[in-house]
Amino acid sequence: METPLPPPQQHFLFVTNPLQGHLNPARRLAGLASPDEEAVDAAGVVHIPYSDGFDEGFNPAVHGAGTYKARATAAGRETLSAVVARLAARGQPVTCVVYTFLVPWVPDVARAHGVPAALFWIQPAAVFAVYYHYFHGREAAIAACANGRDPGATICLPGLPPLRADALPSGVSITSPEHRHYLLLDLVRDLFLSLDEHKPRVLVNTFDALEADALRAVPQFEIAAVGPVVPDADAPPSGADLLRRHDAKAYMEWLDTNPARSVVYVSFGSVLSVSKRQEEEMKRGLEATDRPYLWVARKAADGGASPDSSDGARGLVVEWCDQVRVLSHPAVGCFVTHCGWNSTLESVTRGVPMVAVPQWTDQPTVAWLVEARMGAGVRARVDREGVVERGELQRCVEMVMGDGEAASAILAQSDRWRKLATEAMSPGGTSETNLRAFAYSGAVNNA
C-alpha cells in the first residue's frame, strides 16, 4: 500500500480591514487553517500590518467621505504588495491570500504576485446570495422591495425562499450616493465586480445544516461553508484586539451567584451605540422583566450616555466583557443581541436563545435566520423611530425565558442548533472537511 503524501506546506496570508468584527473571524480561521500548528504562535497567527492611508484613523468630517475608497485602495495595494514581496524574500512565500469583503482590491495584489486568492465571507450565505443578485440584474426589484410601503411584500430570488423587506440586508435599500452608508454599498459593489473577474474560492462562516440552499444559490462560484468560526471560551488574548479588555473577575463572579438560565445578557456589539431613548427603554424593559441582567453598554460618542454600572440590585452594567465566556456560563438564559453574525454564531454554538434587535447591514437577515429558520429566538418589534419599547422587550424576554410552550420550543431549538453547529466543526463534519480540504490544497490557482 502506498504511503499517502504529506500535506503541502501552505503559507496563508489573511487580509482584513481594521474592524474588530472582521479581525476576529479572520484570525480564528487563520489558526484553524494552519496545517502546521507548531508554526504559529499561541494565539494562532502572526500579525503583519499594512496601511489603508489613514494610519491615524479615518474621519469623514475631516477627510471627506468620498476620499476613503481611492486612497485606501492605492495605499493598501502598495503596502500589501510590499508585505508579500518581503515574505517571499525571507523564504516564506505566500501560497494563498484570504481576504474579507471590505478590501476588494486584494485579489489584484495577489494576481500581481502570482498567488491565488480566496474570499472569506464573514456574513451569512443568504446575504452573499442577495448581494449577488442585487449586482447582477435584480437591483431595481430588490431596492423596490426594501423601500416599499407594504411590510408584507416579498422578493423571490433564485435559490432563496421569499424574503420580506425586513429580512434584506440594509445595504440594498440605499439608492443615493449621499446616503451616509453609501460607502459600504460601493465597496460591496467593487467586491462583486472583483469576484466576477477573479473567480476566487469563497469560504463562508456558516454551516450546511443552517444554510444549505443559500450556499448553493450562486452556482457561479465555488462556495464552501467553513463555520461556525468562533473563538473558544478559553482563547488567549490577541494582539488584534482593538478594544481595551477589562478584568472579567467581577462579572464572572456575579454570574456565579445566579441560578442556571436566569440571566438576560444584553450587548449590541463593538461598533454601534444606542440612542438615549433606546437606552432608557432598554433599562426600563430589563427592570420590568424582574430578572437579573448583564448589560454591555458602550460609552456613546453621539449623545447617548451609558447607564450607570450600579444599575440596581438586579442588573450589572459593564463597558466590555468576554462575550464567549459569558455566553458559555450556565447562568445565561437569553441573549438580547443586535444580530451581528459573530455574536449570533457565538450564541448558537452555546445554545443560548436570542431576542433579535437588528440595526443595519446583514443584521436584518441574521434576525430572520434566528427567528424564521432556526426558531432559536424571537425578533423584537420596533416603533417608527426604530426603538424597541420597554413593553416589547419585556414581552420578548418572557417569550424566550418564560415557562410557556413557546419558550420551551425555542430552548429546544437552540440546543438542537448547538449540536448541529458542533457536528459541523467536529472531525469529519461538513465544515471541518471543507476547511481541511482548503488547508491541504490552498486555493485553485486562478492567478
pLDDT digits (tens, 9 = 90+) for 138-155: 999 999 999 998 888 999
Tens of pLDDT, residue by residue over 57-88, are 877 777 777 788 999 999 999 999 999 999 99
Tens of pLDDT, residue by residue over 205-228, are 999 999 999 999 999 999 999 999
What is the phi/psi pair of residue 209, to 5°?
A: -60, -30
Cβ(107)–Cβ(190) below 8 Å: no
Whether 301 shows a pLDDT value over 90: the answer reads no
Q: Can you say whether residue 47 is alpha, beta or left, with left for phi > 0 and alpha for psi between -120 and 50 degrees?
A: beta
C-alpha cell belonging to residue 260: 442556571
- In sequence order, the 6+-apart residues with CB closer than 8 A to the CB of 272 are 338, 359, 360
The closest alpha carbon to 357, from 328, 377, 373, 372, belongs to 377
C-alpha cell belonging to residue 132: 449577488
Cβ(328)–Cβ(109) below 8 Å: no
Please provide the size of the chain in residues: 447
- In single-letter form, the type of residue at position 319 comes to E
Instruction: Give the pLDDT score at 20.
Output: 87
- For domain 249-420, the question of CATH label 3.40.50.2000 is answered with yes
Q: How far is CA 395 from the centre of its chain?
A: 27
C-alpha cell belonging to residue 345: 454564531
- In single-letter form, the type of residue at position 292 comes to P
Cβ(199)–Cβ(408) below 8 Å: no
39 — pLDDT class (breaks 50, 70, 90): very low
Whether 38 shows a pLDDT value over 90: the answer reads no
What is the phi/psi pair of residue 265, to 5°?
A: -100, 130
The closest alpha carbon to 203, from 284, 122, 288, 302, belongs to 122
Tens of pLDDT, residue by residue over 332-351, are 999 999 999 999 999 999 99
Q: What pTM, to 2 d.p., does this model score?
A: 0.92
Whether 262 shows a pLDDT value over 60: the answer reads yes
Neighbours of 112 (CB within 10 A): 13
Instruction: Give the pLDDT score at 330.
Output: 98
The closest alpha carbon to 32, from 444, 310, 426, 443, belongs to 426
What is the phi/psi pair of residue 140, to 5°?
A: -65, -45
**pLDDT: is 382 or 31 the higher one?**
382
Whether 2 shows a pLDDT value over 90: the answer reads no
C-alpha cell belonging to residue 29: 480561521
Using alpha carbons only, give the angle 124, 125, 127 rounded to the nearest 5 degrees.
70
136 included as an active-site residue: no
Among residues 11, 22, 113, 133, the one annotated as catalytic is: 22
Cβ(213)–Cβ(159) below 8 Å: yes
Mean pLDDT, the chain, as a whole number?
89
Sign (positive/negative) of CA torsion 408, 278, 57, 178? Answer: positive
Domain boundaries in the chain? 249-420
Tens of pLDDT, residue by residue over 78-124, are 999 999 999 999 999 999 999 999 999 999 999 999 999 999 999 99
Whether 273 shows a pLDDT value over 80: the answer reads no
User: If you compute the radius of gyration of the chain from its CA atoms, what whole number of angstroms results?
Assistant: 22
Using the structure block, give the residue that is written with the C-alpha cell 490552498: 442
Instruction: Give the pLDDT score at 47.
Output: 79
Give the SS3 label for residue 315.
Answer: strand
Q: How far is CA 182 from the centre of its chain?
A: 20
Q: How far apart are CA 222 and CA 216, in angstroms?
A: 9
Instruction: Give the pLDDT score at 6.
Output: 45
Q: Residue 90, exposed/middle/buried by CB under 10 A (0-12, 13-18, 19+)?
A: exposed
Instruction: Give the pLDDT score at 270.
Output: 66
- In single-letter form, the type of residue at position 274 comes to V
Give the percent of the chain with pLDDT over 90: 73
Q: How far apart are CA 337 and CA 350, in angstroms?
A: 14
Q: How far apart are CA 185 and CA 72, in angstroms?
A: 16
Q: How far apart are CA 409 and CA 406, in angstroms?
A: 5
380 — pLDDT class (breaks 50, 70, 90): very high
Give the SS3 label for residue 294.
Answer: strand
Average pLDDT on 401-413 reads 97
Instruction: Give the pLDDT score at 36.
Output: 46
Cβ(142)–Cβ(155) below 8 Å: yes
